[in-house]
Amino acid sequence: MQIKEIISDSISFPFSNPVRFLILGVILIFSPLMLPLILAGGYMIRIIKNTSQGIREMPPFEDLTNMFIDGIKFLVVNIAYSLPGLLFIYAALIISIFTSLSNMITSGHINNQTIAMYSAPYYTMDYMSLFSGPIPLLLLIIGIILVSLGYLIQVIAIPRMVYKDKVGAAFEIKSIYKKIQVLGWGKYLVCGIFFLIVVALTTILGLILPDLFKNYGINGYIISIIISGLLISSFEYCFQGRFMGLIYPGKIENEKKTMNDIRKPRFVKNSE
């Protein structure tokens, strides 16, 4: 498919079945409980499988056991590729908080604003204000870059895991590199950057929603969680699954057929 077709198809796909889209959203509302998050990851894997078979519509919610297993596989791969960047981000946060509190304690300048910032409910906290100082900001930037690179690799690694039906396939870097070459570096980078932009926008939107409703207290936070899960996160998961299924060069059937052709001896019929 052309780049424009991949982008337009991936964006419109979540709305191919509004009922299933909202069901996924309801599941993602409870994603902090972990089990729903795993099921959502399994549903993304199912979208990739359906895409490889040429199915345009969102898959039904059935066979939840296998969906849960696929979700665990997805979570393992996602954490593995995101962990290096997340470690830098968490390190930046810890250094920033401890440095800030240490300076205030030693100087004795602890005012009401400072106390309010660190004791505020998590649903009203300004998270970016926590990253203060050059070192935490540098670590934060490095962390974001590493997380972004991890997502770029996952664009090929996760569908390869699906097509090979084994988690280890997502970490076969040489094979992933060859798949990128088949796809073409230009197409891969353009699509990958667009993928990152969509993921970044949905993530940022999900983070700022609590701030938009902070004047309503805990009720505002609950409203933001519902909107985020029902619409934003649901769109992101559907988009990612469809996008990865479309961009991956090759189909499940084609790869199996290729392996079978390699194993089978070929006989040439002599014409007499």
Residue 5 identity (one-letter amino acid): E
Cα 196 from Cα 160, distance rounded (Å): 19
* Whether residue 222 has pLDDT greater than 50: yes
* Whether residue 2 has pLDDT greater than 60: yes
| Residue range 48-54: mean pLDDT, rounded | 90
Cα 168 from Cα 161, distance rounded (Å): 7
Residue 113 identity (one-letter amino acid): Q
Cα distances from 68 to residues 47, 190, 193, 240, in angstroms, run 14, 32, 29, 18
Q: Which residue has the tokens 């059937």?
A: 253
* Whether residue 264 has pLDDT greater than 50: no
Cβ within 8 Å of residue 244, ≥6 positions away: 48, 154, 155, 156, 158, 159
* Whether residue 130 has pLDDT greater than 70: no
* Whether residue 119 has pLDDT greater than 80: no
Are the beta carbons of 180 and 154 closer than 8 angstroms? no
| Residue range 143-169: mean pLDDT, rounded | 94
Per-residue confidence band for 54, with pLDDT thresholds at 50, 70 and 90? confident
121 or 29, higher pLDDT: 29
